[in-house]
């Protein structure tokens, strides 16, 4: 480690948005076979890593309290795994700025873990290789591999099969969370997906020349977890209606297993106005207007 950069190094951990999420069924190993079109928002958490003797994590920001006392935080698990797998003996002081609500269906913990791995590779001047890094990420959680790169992707399987897409047409998002955490396991139990006898074929990878094409494609897809999630937390349906009723909303849908919902807008001004209107009407909700990474 002699001569390794000292930092500090900062990595963004953008919100992961499932524009679509299909559940083909439950596999024989108990996992669910999924297919999802994923994008990354311009809003998110932020992770700082700097040289230290020990490996520590401090959490700050609007949603820091939700992670208080979590000694097994996914960021620390990612850091320990990376250090163990690469033989690093150095420590690091990690500081997580938690701007995204916890357990909200937008991959905050997974994005944080991925950001920690990227920051620590820079701090410790290591490169475990693409395949080894992907394997470590997959062992941490189904969403961590896709979060290693904040680019649009089609992901399937349990999340380990990923094809990055060409830049999507430009659009803007409004993210709304009605102030509740939702257990992914509970949502899948409520879905009661059928058992799979064989694995589905790899999905076709779509390409979109214009936003109209993307919205039309999404109209033929869905988030299969949305209905069971609304059954568990009816306020999700209220959030979806709030988004759909704003001017310029092209599509309103839940992300992941909830409870965060999103609206798609062609214009930034429409997204900003929609977010402001929803925030005024629902003061207890978390609301954010943001762009999307890697869009033309």
Task: Mark whether 16 is an active-site residue.
Answer: yes
**Coil/strand/helix, residue 82:** helix
Specify the length of the chain in residues: 296
At residue 279, φ and ψ (nearest 5 deg) are: -65, -35
Which of the following is catalytic: 45, 98, 112, 143?
143
CB 5 within 8 A of CB 123: yes
Nearest Cα neighbor of 261 from 180, 157, 140 is: 180
Beta bridge partners of 253: 262
CB 106 within 8 A of CB 136: no
Dig out the tokens for 85 from the structure: 């797998």
Which of the following is catalytic: 16, 45, 112, 224?
16
Longest dimension (CA), the chain: 58
Task: Mark whether 127 is an active-site residue.
Answer: no
Give Cα 275 to chain centroid, integer Å: 20
CB 218 within 8 A of CB 17: no
Nearest Cα neighbor of 226 from 236, 235, 217 is: 236
Q: Which residues are catalytic?
A: 16, 143
């Amino acid at each position: 480690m002699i001569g390794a950069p000292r930092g500090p190094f900062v990595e963004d951990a953008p919100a992961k948005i499932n524009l679509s999420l299909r559940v083909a069924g439950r596999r024989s190993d108990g996992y669910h076979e999924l297919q999802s079109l994923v994008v990354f928002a311009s809003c998110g958490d932020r992770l700082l890593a700097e040289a230290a003797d020990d490996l520590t994590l401090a959490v700050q920001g609007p949603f820091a309290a939700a992670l208080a006392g979590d000694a097994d935080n996914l960021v620390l698990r990612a850091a320990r795994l990376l250090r163990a797998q690469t033989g690093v003996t150095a420590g690091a002081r990690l500081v997580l700025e938690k701007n995204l609500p916890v357990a909200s269906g937008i991959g905050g913990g997974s994005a944080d873990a991925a950001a920690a791995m990227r920051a620590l590779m820079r701090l410790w001047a290591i490169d475990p290789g693409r395949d080894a890094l992907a394997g470590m990420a997959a062992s941490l959680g189904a969403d961590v591999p896709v979060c290693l790169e904040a680019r649009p992707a089609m992901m399937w399987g349990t999340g380990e099969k990923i094809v990055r897409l060409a830049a999507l047409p430009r659009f803007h998002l409004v993210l709304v969370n009605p102030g509740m955490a939702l257990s992914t396991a509970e949502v899948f139990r409520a879905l009661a997906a059928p058992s799979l006898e064989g694995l589905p074929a790899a999905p076709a990878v779509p390409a979109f020349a214009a936003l109209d094409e993307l919205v039309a494609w999404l109209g033929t897809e869905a988030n299969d977890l949305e209905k069971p999630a609304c059954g568990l937390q009816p306020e999700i349906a209220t959030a979806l209606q709030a988004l759909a009723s704003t001017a310029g909303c092209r599509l309103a849908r839940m992300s992941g297993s909830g409870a965060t919902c999103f609206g798609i807008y062609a214009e930034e001004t429409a997204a900003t106005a929609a977010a402001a209107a929803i925030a005024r009407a629902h003061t207890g909700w978390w609301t954010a207007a943001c762009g999307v990474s890697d869009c033309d």
